[in-house]
Amino acid sequence: MVDLVTVSEAQIWAWLEGVPDPEIPVISVVDLGVIRAVDVGSSDDVKITITPTYSGCPAMSIIALDIRTALAKRGIENLTLETKIAPPWTTDWLSAKGRAQLEDYGIAPPRAAGGPAHCPQCKSRQVEKISRFGSTPCKAQWRCTSCLEPFDYFKCI
Amino acid sequence: MTPLFEFLLRQGDNALVLGHRTSEWCGVAPALEEDIALANTALDLIGQTQLWLGYAAEVEGAGRSANDLAYLRDVYDFRNVLMLEVPNADFGRTLMRQFLFDAFQVPWLTALQGSDDQQVADIAAKSLKEAQYHLDRSSETVIMLGDGTDESHARMKAALDYLFPYAGEMFADDAIDTAIRESGVAPLPSTVRTQWNETLRRVMNEAYLTIPDTTFNHSGGRTGFRHTEYLGHMLATMQTLQRSYPGATW
Ligand SMILES: [Zn+2]
């Protein structure tokens, strides 16, 4: 049988870097850590394994659709998307680049200590929690007591 | 119905019924932050429901989906504990119920992570992270309100007195639980009662609330034998769209 592979897994990963998270568009789905595997088969059939951040995250169906759309534009027609919940997603899978992009955007990145290191706006360490939950399942609300700005904190799980 | 299917319905229906009840606060909670917190908690629970009922549907093998199980079953087919279907009443009772359930879920899901059934173990591991976060918040809020004003304390006391006789059903082992234990899927629910008692004692102590001195337990939800009058009303709201427009999708 003739080997028909014309696309590499590295190429697919690079294309996925261009797919933004629908709720926090400054980071890509790759930097969010939801892409767990990319496998290219013997006839350019591509299988992508994704994992949900939170079990009820409504963005997951949009992410799947955005991945399909982005790869279809690159000519990938035979695409299988598989959802795997194990091992469960953790904020440890956010890339260093993703963390920096969150901070630049005004969202404090997650920390094992359980709260933001400093205000993403003015960098003051004088911050306090408003609520354990925020505008999306992955965020909590905090406030800076120096510049008085409220800000989102990416929950650490 | 096989014991595994029954077990999965119990898991899924607990998450679904509490998830729906919690979602009833959307837009009417006492503060915007609490509104968002409740909606996000509900969302986590509905997500967990999809996992449990999705697997239940697969195990049943009758061509039904998670949505069919959620929207097209009647009251007596539900297997949730009664505590989760009673009305929200006030914010205090809503958070007290969330706490009593979270304090059970954390040790229970921790135990299920060791299930011989890989899918059960995987769903438990995913749900556990969310349950831990919920428990942090519900304990914190129960303590804040119990140790708050005279009004908030009185409401939390009333909530605990009302809900406590419902809590025991979470630990009421029956023949299905025994069959499930024998197949290696889960331990008996009664085995996590000690941990639940400890969490309850610690949090109630900090909240200045007295644990009611009663051994009476309402029951009938997890067997489907006798639900409260409230579940039918809840399902009427929750299922109306699928009942009126069968098969409707987004
Ligand atoms: Zn600041």
Q: How far is CA B133 from CA A112, B80, B114, B207, in A?
A: 14, 22, 21, 19
Residue A70 lies in a domain: yes
Could you tell me the CATH number of the domain that includes residue A47?
3.30.300.130
ipTM confidence score: 0.89
For residues A83 and A124, membership in a common domain is answered with no
Set of chain B residues whose Cβ sits within 8 Å of the Cβ of A137: 40, 43-44
Residue A58 lies in a domain: yes
Determine the Cα–Cα distance for residues B165 and B202; give it in Å rounded to an integer. Answer: 19
> What residues contact B162, with CB distance under 8 A and at least 6 apart?
B89, B93
Structure tokens at A41: 């088969």
Distance from residue A135's CA to the centre of ligand 1 (Å): 19
Q: Which of A66, A91, A116 is the last residue of a domain?
A: A91
Residue A96 lies in a domain: no
For residues A121 and A74, membership in a common domain is answered with no
Distance from residue A100's CA to the centre of ligand 1 (Å): 17
> What residues contact A153, with CB distance under 8 A and at least 6 apart?
A107, A108, A110, A115, A116, A134, A139, A140, A141, A142
For residues A115 and A61, membership in a common domain is answered with no
Distance from residue A154's CA to the centre of ligand 1 (Å): 16
Chain B 187-216, residues with CB within 8 Å of chain A CB atoms: none
Set of chain A residues whose Cβ sits within 8 Å of the Cβ of B133: 132, 155, 157
- Helix ranges (H only) for chain B are 3-23, 32-60, 66-71, 91-112, 118-146, 150-167, 175-182, 193-206, 229-244
Q: Quote the minimal CA–CA distance from B37 to chain A in Å.
A: 5
DSSP assignment string, B138-167? HHHHHHHHHTS-HHHHHHHHHHHHHHHHHH
Range of the domain at A35: 9-91
pLDDT tens across A74-84, in order?
A: 999 899 999 99
Q: Cα angle vertex A56, ends A51, A61, to 5°?
A: 60
Which of the residues B50, B51, B126 would you substitute to probe the A interface, choosing the one with the greatest number of A C-beta atoms within 10 Å?
B126
pLDDT of res. A51: 96
pLDDT of res. A114: 84
For residues A43 and A116, membership in a common domain is answered with no
Size of interface A-B (CB pairs under 8 A): 66
Is the Cβ of B129 closer than 8 Å to some Cβ of chain A?
A: yes
Set of chain A residues whose Cβ sits within 8 Å of the Cβ of B37: 131-133
For residues A48 and A113, membership in a common domain is answered with no
For residues A145 and A75, membership in a common domain is answered with no
pLDDT of res. A4: 58
For residues A14 and A73, membership in a common domain is answered with yes
For residues A85 and A117, membership in a common domain is answered with no
* Domain B3-244 superfamily per CATH: Ferritin, core subunit, four-helix bundle (1.20.1260.10)
Q: Cα angle vertex A63, ends A62, A64, to 5°?
A: 90
Set of chain B residues whose Cβ sits within 8 Å of the Cβ of A115: none
Q: Quote the minimal CA–CA distance from B137 to chain A in Å.
A: 7
The answer to whether the CB of A35 falls within 8 A of the CB of A16 is yes
pLDDT of res. A2: 47
**pLDDT score of A1 more than 80:** no
For residues A120 and A76, membership in a common domain is answered with no
Section A88-105 average pLDDT: 96
pLDDT tens across B141-188, in order?
A: 999 999 999 999 999 999 999 999 999 999 999 999 999 999 999 999
pTM score of the predicted model = 0.94
For residues A31 and A69, membership in a common domain is answered with yes
Q: Quote the minimal CA–CA distance from B81 to chain A in Å.
A: 22
Determine the Cα–Cα distance for residues A118 and A145; give it in Å rounded to an integer. Answer: 11
What average pLDDT does the structure give for chain A? 93
pLDDT tens across B87-144, in order?
A: 999 999 999 999 999 999 999 999 999 999 999 999 999 999 999 999 999 999 999 9
Tell if the CB–CB gap between B133 and A54 is shorter than 8 Å.
Answer: no
The total of structural domains in chain A comes to 2
Residue A101 lies in a domain: no
Of B33, B51, B140, the CB nearest to A141: B33
